[in-house]
Amino acid sequence: MSLSLQDYRSRVLGCWLGKNIGGTLGAPFEWRRQVNDVSFYTQDLRGEPLPNDDLDIQLLWLVALEERGIGLNAATLADYWCLYVTPHWSEYGTAKVQMRAGLPPPLCGDTGNEFRDSCGAFIRSEIWACIAPGLPKLAAQYALADASLDHGGGEGSFAAVFCAALESAAFAVADLPALLEIGLSYIPEGCGTAGAIRCAMASHAAGRSWQEARDAVLQDFRGGTFFGHLSHTSEADRKKGFHEGKRGWDAPSNLGLLAVALLYGEGDFARTVCVAVNCGEDTDCTAATAGSIFGILHGAAAIPDAWVKPIGRTIKTACLNLGELGYFGNQLPQNVDALTVRTEQVMRQVMLRHAPNLEPVAEFAVAPAVAPVSPESLHAGAFRDELWASSGGPVFTFDFFKIGVDYGHAGVFVRDGQPRPLRVWIRNTYKVQAVLHLTWHLPEGWSAAPARTGTVLSLPGHLCGGRPVELEFVFTPAALNRPLARLILEIVCDSRPTVMLVPVVFRNGNFQPG
């Protein structure tokens, strides 16, 4: 791959232009289960786009990257979410109240969240791809940290990782079927999102029409209609039985329809975004994502000016607390051009850390390889298992170790006097062995088995096949008199000054069913 800085800028600008256009085009038809007949904007826009949460939460992540640095994690993003994301829509709101009640990601995205399988995370995946062009593994890590806030380990997170990996790879690979395979390599093979995407690919390969491909996706991968309202499903789709489905299970079908739009768009911008809208469902999200992927693949010059002029280049926010983001939001980029410049500034930092062999000069080449990049080299491979190994609870990154807390199927709830299992894993990320001393600090009256203290040997990856140390504990709580119980695992590295503190939280589950 050889990507000049000029080409990179064009692709990022194309990404943000396509995002704004697709979101504006699809907004009037959002969450209608019907076949539409759209060929251009359907409203008088007066030179401005419609507000759209598909783009503006990414503006918040840009600010977080600028303020806190490129090493930010899910916990940092959760703080920004609590401070600046205003709506209580579906997964947004449920996750926010869980964060504010003390649950960290991914627990806040999993617990009590009927919409963990919905669309709120894949729509904000582009920022991670644009700061990590040609580095899909890194983009996938960022996207999962992001998605875990409001989708935990659900289909919504699978969809976000798929999109971020595909979009990052699109800076290096132009072949669309190959890009779809790259994205699929990062998510579990048996998940609904992967199934819906492969369904769309099979319809296209069989020569079916986009309408037939759309129906095939909805036949097997649809969720419920908009809050169960029958009026949001067309009569034609009711006759097909499409008015029924699982509430909140929306990411699989919409990712399938995104694939339909990309495949049947045939490299034409108007056709790509219009097919996305005409398939129905979450039309502002699918069209916005299809538009952004088109922009990354083809650059800003490939987006016809006829689509840009009606909405201009400004950005309109929908769900951010502007009163705290500078002076009524002026800390945010106000247009796609400023957004492109600031995205590049963060990208340069990412590349210096993760691809330091590049030349950070005026004709900066974003690619770490001289020869063309093969699509296979961008596949996840064994990295996929490592990526999803942490989906059962929060992961804490220290200088030389990663430590994960896996709550398992029991979730975060504990009850008076009832034993509660918990798994902890420790991965040595440096090149030398370490003896670690572990001590649990528990609430009064709690007990821990096999013990409250102990010692383990942690080997670096090359000496243990990359396997972490895995420890199983069982806690028995005393009478619970608070909404939240906090535990601390203290880990001290022998003969070094390293001390790591890992917080663990449990929710009072005395009144929970089961």
Give the pLDDT of residue 365: 61
Mean of the per-residue pLDDT values of the chain: 94
- Spell out the residues 6+ positions from residue 171 whose beta carbon is closer than 8 angstroms to its own: 1, 3, 8, 11, 129, 133, 134, 296, 366
This prediction's pTM: 0.95
> Do residues 314 and 411 share a domain?
no
Q: Provide CB contacts within 8 A for 153, sequence distance 6+.
A: 106, 109, 110, 116, 388, 391, 392
Asked if 432 and 464 sit in the same domain, the reply is: yes
Q: Are 149 and 105 in contact (CB under 8 A)?
A: yes
Q: What is the helix (H) or strand (E) element at residue 141, kind and residue range?
A: helix 136-151
Any idea which of 101-110, 240-249, 352-361, 443-452 has the lowest mean pLDDT?
A: 352-361
pLDDT above 80 for 367: no
Are residues 374 and 396 both part of a single domain?
no
Region 186-210: mean pLDDT is: 98
Same domain, 420 and 483: yes
- The least confident of 358-362, 381-385, 503-507 is 358-362
Domain end point (choices 344, 378, 412): 378
Residues 13, 110, single domain; the answer is yes
pLDDT score, position 473: 98
Question: Do 76 and 113 belong together in one domain?
Answer: yes
Residue 295 CA to its chain's centroid (Å): 19
Share of the chain above pLDDT 70, in %: 96
- On whether both 157 and 15 belong to a single domain, the answer is yes
Tokens of 14: 């194309």
Residue 465's pLDDT is what? Answer: 86
Separation between Cα atoms, residue 221 and residue 217, nearest integer Å: 6
Confirm if 156 and 124 have CB atoms less than 8 A apart: no
User: How far is the C-alpha of 10 from the C-alpha of 293, rounded, in Å?
Assistant: 13
How far is the C-alpha of 111 from the C-alpha of 98, rounded, in Å?
8
Consecutive H or E run containing 485 = strand 484-493
**Model pLDDT, residue 370:** 40
The larger pLDDT score, comparing residue 373 to residue 362, is at 373
pLDDT at 363: 53
Range of the domain at 86: 5-378
pLDDT at residue 360 is higher than 60: no
Strands 420-428 and 401-406: antiparallel
Q: What tokens were used for 74?
A: 């899910």
Number of domains forming the structure of the chain: 2
Question: Each residue of 162-184: pLDDT tens digit?
Answer: 999 999 999 999 999 999 999 99
Phi, then psi, of 341 in degrees rounded to 5:
-60, -45
pLDDT (tens digit per residue) in 128-155 = 999 999 999 999 999 999 999 999 999 9
Task: State the pLDDT at residue 513.
Answer: 82
Tokens representing residue 65 in the block = 């990257």
